[in-house]
Homo-oligomer: A and B are copies of this chain.
Amino acid sequence: MPRLRVHNFTISLDGYAAGPEQSRDHPLGIGGSRLHEWAFPAEPRDPDTGENIDARFAAEREDGIGATIMGRNMFGPIRGDWGDSDWKGWWGDEPPFGHPVFVLTHHGHPPIPMAGGTTFHFVTDGFRSALERAFAVAGGADVAIGGGAATVQQYLAAGLIDEVHLVIAPILLGGGERLFDHLDGGPHGYECTELVSSAAVTHIRLARVR
């Protein structure tokens, strides 16, 4: 059965997936880009083990994923109606996805085909509809939730996510958007199946208990 997965989702010690005051200049909020420094290491191998723990986890994001879902705020900084915006995402002419990407939004927008196999589709009829469309085009492969926090939260609360690879960066952001919030006592039914730290961060795999 194809699964719904989250990879490389990074939070700070104080639980924030993005810092305060997100904007076009600071898409991850103030200080938020520090969350992802682990994915671009100066020294790629662990000095003790010679293994590249961070790269091993990061690469799973590419493995067996046929479609991605993301929230509109992850796609871009524009709020409300799209107007005459020609915004095509943060990722340049050839986004790294290489498959269909479904963007959750309240405002319709024609699909945006990009180089390299990525097409951005805009879904206005809800997160469950996006999930159905994503699985339909993934051709039997898994679907990834790209983010941000509110989008992952929405699917977690509905119990729809099979696996979460959570990364904890040992920094304090002091504010911003929390992953584990608005979950009404949840998420329920997940257990940790892997816990390992590199020199930079802690990797945690949460799997849905079946």
Contacts and interface: CB of A to CB of B under 8 A. Distances in A.
Contacts of A186: 172, 174
A185 interface: yes
A190 B171 CA distance: 8
Contact of A13 (B14, B172, B204): B204
A55 interface: no
Interface string A178-210: 101001011110101001110111101010000
A179 to B, nearest CB: 8
A166 B14 CA distance: 11
B187 A174 contact: yes
Main secondary structure of the interface of A (DSSP, over half): loop
User: Number of contact residues on A: which range applies?
Assistant: 20 to 34
A175 interface: yes
A170 B192 contact: yes
Nearest to A199: B195
Interface of A: 13-15, 20, 166, 168, 170-172, 174-175, 178, 180, 183, 185-188, 190, 192, 195-197, 199-202, 204, 206
Given A14-B183, A174-B183, A195-B199, 4 more contacts: A170-B195, A195-B202, A196-B197, A197-B202
